[in-house]
Chains A and B, each alone.
Chain A
Amino acid sequence: SQTIHQWPATLVQPVGSPLSLECTVEGTSNPNLYWYRQAAGRGLQLLFYSVGIGQISSEVPQNLSASRPQDRQFILSSKKLLLSDSGFYLCAWGLGTGIQDTQYFGPGTRLTVL
């Protein structure tokens, strides 16, 4: 069966510091991968999605970037964090086409920028 991992689970960072969040998926090949952000008490905002290694699409212009160095690894980064980057970051995977088109979320990383 498929499993999705995210780390770290929680993170407290000062403004202006760099960021690296990692997501990995097990038990499937060539998944579509997604990064979402959820501000406190708010909805799900799609940040990036990827249909394959090295293929990244950005949904919202911001100081964040994403990379997919391996088939089942998705990384979210920032060179300098802003206060507004605080939130709950969720990685999700899906197979995207045909019957198996459901998205499944990872456990999330709760980021606080001080």
Chain B
Amino acid sequence: GENVEQHPSTLSVQEGDSAVIKCTYSDSASNYFPWYKQELGKRPQLIIDIRSNVGEKKDQRIAVTLNKTAKHFSLHITETQPEDSAVYFCAARNKGWGKLQFGAGTQVVVTP
């Protein structure tokens, strides 16, 4: 089955700096890669996703890149703000079915 590794487990950044979280996956048949943000005590919320036919996707300060050859994808947050502090989860989905394999999560702390 699919295995997703996520790094780092914790990330501290100064407000205004960029944050990068990296995930690797094992199954080359995976074709969908969402990212979720979970604030303390809340549900995970989808913030951005990318499909395997696209190399990069941006939404304001958030971007995701995908390298299918190397089987890794990354989340980039620019101009970080205190409200970006949360746990971020990456996930990968096998072609044709809805189950997601999640990474272990990254705790991001943005300090003013």
By a beta-carbon cutoff of 8 Å, the part of chain A in contact with chain B is 32, 34, 42-44, 46, 49, 51, 90, 94-97, 101-108
Contacts and interface: CB of A to CB of B under 8 A. Distances in A.
A104 to B, nearest CB: 7
B49 A102 contact: yes
B99 A49 contact: yes
Given A90-B44, A102-B46, A32 B98 contact: yes
Interface in B32-57: 32, 34, 36, 42-46, 49
B81 to A, nearest CB: 23
Contacts, number: 45
Interface residues of B, number: 20
Contact of A44 (B32, B89, B96, B97): B89
Contact of B43 (A95, A101, A108): A108
Contact of B104 (A43, A49, A90): A43
A49 B36 CA distance: 19
A51 B96 CA distance: 13
A105 B42 CA distance: 10
Contacts of A108: 42-43
Contacts of B45: 105
Contact of A90 (B43, B46, B98): B43
Nearest to B98: A96
Contacts of A90: 43-44
Interface string B86-112: 000100010011111011110000000
B46 A96 contact: no
Nearest to B36: A105
9 nearest A-B pairs in the assembled complex, by CB-CB distance: A96-B98, A105-B43, A32-B98, A43-B104, A44-B102, A94-B98, A43-B105, A105-B44, A108-B43
